[in-house]
Structure 1
Amino acid sequence: MVDIGKVIEEIQRSASSAEAFRIFCKAVEQYGYDKVCFTLMTDHPALGLQAFHGFATSYPDDWMSHYMAQDYYSFDPVVYRCFQSPAPFFWDDAVAAQSRDPAKDDKTLLTSKKLMNEAGDAGLADGIGVPFVSMSGELSAVGLSRDRPVTERNYHELAEVALLGNAFHDKFLSFYASPTVPRMTDRERDVLAWSAEGKTDAEIAIILGVSAATVRFHWNNIFKKMQVSSKVLATCMAIRLGIISVQKPAA
């Protein structure tokens, strides 16, 4: 069983992007995913980075070279799904979604099928995708792969991997920016601190003696200040930037 909190702390303490990637890869390997590919799917002007497939990857070099030479990025159902939805997904769902799209012609579908077959031969038989979308619309994602198909879907594990992916994404890209610490109100820090303790919005509302609508109001302000759209990512950033600590706040 993976200790999620411990792994997130290790990622946050990493001294380089390479170390953050190594820790993330080691963690997801415990779920059976032994290969990882982190891609900037759109330009990230705030960081001065351009779109780049395999910005950090443990995929085989020969597969990456073949993938790019065949222009498979334009036909990849996993890439297609990342642009369609920010939710984590299993690869076979991405394949099914692309096949149902009436806008996709026969050439695209045939090339996609060829791509997935060749990926399986290269040891990338199955996997999951975890997209990340910033408030400014910048898109990136991690693809996690294994050498054999998943026999039974485990959505709990999918959620855990997505949580680890968000922590990795935040820390990895932090090495390419000079972060400024946004000014938070006491209530906003309270919301973030209790979120770090795993509390839901409803539980935070009870603890703080406010309505759930007020908690959502604070989250909206937090998102604007941090330029993120995920509570998990906002909480991870708050810990990394020293806005909150992992110790439980006073009720």
Structure 2
Amino acid sequence: MSEHDRPVRTHAERVTEIEALKTQFDVFRFLKNLTETWDMKAFMVVNLPTQAGLELSQYTIITNWPAELLQSYDNESLIRGSTVMAALQKSTVPFFVDADFLNRTEDPATTKVVRALFERFEMLNSIWCPAHDVSGARGAVSFSGNREAFSHQEIAEISYIATHIFDRLAYIKRLDNRVPDTLTDRELDCLNWTAAGKTSAEIAEILILSEHTVNHYLNRATKKLDTVNRTQAVAKALRVGLIK
């Protein structure tokens, strides 16, 4: 999509859109559309790591990075010593990551691995915007793809939107934490076994129920958690501590 073809939104209009987002799924769709608008391939919202040597996926709030990419990143322990994460810890302004950035900051061996991995998914270039919420928790919003540069106006817009997105996700999380204890024991049991990778038929056998009843419990839990499918229901239940 060319610059001329992109739909124009004022900052106020963008903020109004963000304030209308009620769930993480709403935020996901908003960011996905925004990513495409800016000719990028993927987005990520993360909390800044508080410990060294852990996995990026543990700090990811929401993303559409390819699962294989995120898994490979974690398998290679690339968060350990990541200069992107180090830059986020030291900066409050957005910055652009490309091959030159990696060559200046990463050690040669790590640079080779990082470049090969992200080039394979056409996501070598990225813009990272530090953000924080009202509690002071720090994080970042990023957009990755093959674009080589952003205008000053685009960077200002991305940074502005990133701040509001991070704040909105924090607000949604606070709402999530107020999920009422209306899930029944059976609904929680079904969610727990689904999280363990069991199918409805397997759960039915374990709980001595019919498969139809298991699906009924899962559908009801999905609605109560304000999610669109059982996968999202499990993710939300894990996130708010309803299941472990």
Instruction: Please give the range of the TM-score, normalised by the shorter of the 2 chains.
Output: 0.5 to 0.7
Deviations 1:25-76 (A, max 9, x none): 3123211123001111146xxxxxxx93332110000001111111011133
Task: Say which is worse superposed, 16-25 or 133-142, in terms of deviation.
Answer: 133-142
Are the counterparts in 2 of residues 124 and 145 from structure 1 also a CA contact under 8 Å? yes
The residue matched to 1:72 in structure 2 has which SS? coil
Matched, 1:76 2:82: yes
Opposite residue 86 of structure 2, the aligned amino acid is Y
Aligned residues: 163
The residue matched to 2:19 in structure 1 has which SS? helix
CA distance in structure 2 between the partners assigned to 1:127 and 1:168 by the alignment: 17
Correspondence list, 1:191-202, <5 A: none
The residue matched to 1:131 in structure 2 has which SS? strand
CA distance in structure 2 between the partners assigned to 1:112 and 1:53 by the alignment: 22
CA distance in structure 2 between the partners assigned to 1:66 and 1:158 by the alignment: 29
> Any runs of at least 4 consecutive aligned residues in structure 1 with deviations exceeding 3 A, and if so which?
133-137
Are the counterparts in 1 of residues 96 and 127 from structure 2 also a CA contact under 8 Å? yes
Matched, 1:29 2:41: no
Which ranges of structure 1 fall in alignment gaps of 5 or more residues?
44-50, 100-107, 179-251
Opposite residue 171 of structure 2, the aligned amino acid is S
Matched, 1:8 2:5: no
Alignment match of 1:67 (pick from 61, 73, 76)? 73
TM-score of the superposed pair, with normalisation by structure 1: 0.57
TM-score of the superposed pair, with normalisation by structure 2: 0.59
Larger RCO (CA under 8 A, 6+ residues apart): 1
Note the aligned Cα RMSD (angstroms): 2.7
Opposite residue 128 of structure 2, the aligned amino acid is G
Matched, 1:20 2:19: no
Which ranges of structure 2 fall in alignment gaps of 5 or more residues?
1-6, 51-56, 176-244
- Cα deviation, residue 7, structure 1: 2.3
Opposite residue 88 of structure 1, the aligned amino acid is P
Opposite residue 84 of structure 2, the aligned amino acid is V
- Cα deviation, residue 176, structure 1: 1.6
Cα 1:138/1:113, change in 2 over 3 Å:
farther
CA distance in structure 2 between the partners assigned to 1:96 and 1:61 by the alignment: 26
Cα 1:168/1:153, change in 2 over 3 Å:
closer
